[in-house]
Amino acid sequence: MPSFIEVAPDSHFPIENLPYGVFCRPGTKQPAIGVAIGEHVLDLAVLADAGYMDLAELNGTRPFGQPTLNAFMALGHHASRAVRARLQELLDADTPTLRDDADRLERALVPRSAVSMQLPMEIGDYTDFYASRQHATNVGIMFRGRENALMPNWLHLPVGYHGRASSVVVSGSDVVRPMGQTRPKDDEAPVFGPSRQLDFELELGAVIGSGNDLGHPIPIEKAGEHIFGFVLVNDWSARDIQKWEYVPLGPFLGKNFATSVSPWIVPYDAIAPFRVMGEPQTPEAGNPKPLPYLRQAGPRCLDITLDVLLETEQMRTDGVTAHRISQSNARNLYWSPEQQLAHHAVNGCNLRPGDLLASGTISGETPDSYGSMLELSWRGEKPLPLPTGEERTFLLDGDRLTITGYAQGGGYRVGFGDVEGIVLPTGTAISRPGGLNLDS
């Protein structure tokens, strides 16, 4: 599908993608809604002002004049599908409407390198799942032994917990090493101080579009209609704090200090062509058959290549490029985004536009595909070697962690861009993109 805007074959943002984001133009703090196309951002408010987005599915609303995508997402999948089709029509190489409107095009098209990206949605609620079988198995082996690696419920339902939405930040936000209680040895009293086991978690996030009313479950057959799109997620984790605090109620301070997301939301329809079967959920494959409300017909997993890159301060000083420490794939998820959503709402829980459902750490079967430092260094017992001669068991101050991902099509890629952040020392005062000031 050629566009009149030049797009490199390895670009994450061809016309087949058109992910949505919120950006600020150079020298302004006014958020605007746009889509990424090649090396540019297309301002949707400019197109709407010209009448190019007068679609019946928008119900007379003006969702592109808002500071977030929530109003647009709330219109549902019919509206998002119609807007996507209209944008692909306008950007098609054979459509003169926008191509030949030089004045409008100049105002609507902005270089991506010139804008500052904002958190694209207002997140009311954030839920973190535990949907990768290999990750759950690895962690279970570390803490309970191989015979009891998976808990009895894991193959029957998508395990999850409610996280903290206020500390979800957009890529580029620095992360301050958290403080908390830890217990270094089982026979010693707990101590208070900076986490010594700061970690990343490689995750895929589903962003809710239209929600559901309280008391009304979402059937698995309709779950995809409630997912607006997907983002990459780094759920930063303080493993030593988490280990001491999580019994009996689960994660708390070891998780809620920061969760980073990529700034571009890849539409549900853009990633749909990359569905694959995934691990069979059948007795014949040695797995229990899910209960009826979780049974998903057809391919349920997503073939998305996911890379994790680490750059240390010494690398920056020596001019050494960031080192890939892991390559995984979203197809390693046992429970699909639709299954996660259906389970989340089966008790009548009401999901709302902008809510974030993260997959939990995505790990493959080989050590180089593990999605956390906890696994890559196997609980710190196997330090990870780096090109500079350094080693890492967990993240140190000054480390930059970047997650990137894409699905490969025939001659094009549907990508997410990056989600990245630098670890800063405990006590550092920061101001995060998106207007959230955390100096205190």
Is 135 considered catalytic here?
yes
Q: Is 409 helix (H, G, I), strand (E, B) or coil?
A: coil
Distance CA 270, CA 84 (A): 9
Helix and strand element counts for the chain (H, E): 11, 28
The torsion angle over the Cα atoms of residues 424, 430, 432 and 437, rounded to 10 degrees, is 150
Peptide bond into 337 cis (omega under 30): no
**Spatial separation of the C-alpha atoms in residues 21 and 34, rounded to whole Å:** 6
Contact 357, 226 (CB under 8 A): no
Separation of alpha carbons 376 and 240, rounded Å? 16
- Which amino acid belongs to residue 333? L
Q: Is 135 exposed, middle or buried (0-12, 13-18, 19+ CB in 10 A)?
A: buried
- Output phi, psi for 401, to 5 deg: -110, 125
Coil, helix or strand at residue 82: helix
Residue of 12, 40, 77, 135 marked active site:
135
C-beta neighbour count of 366 within 10 angstroms: 11
Question: Which positions are catalytic?
Answer: 135
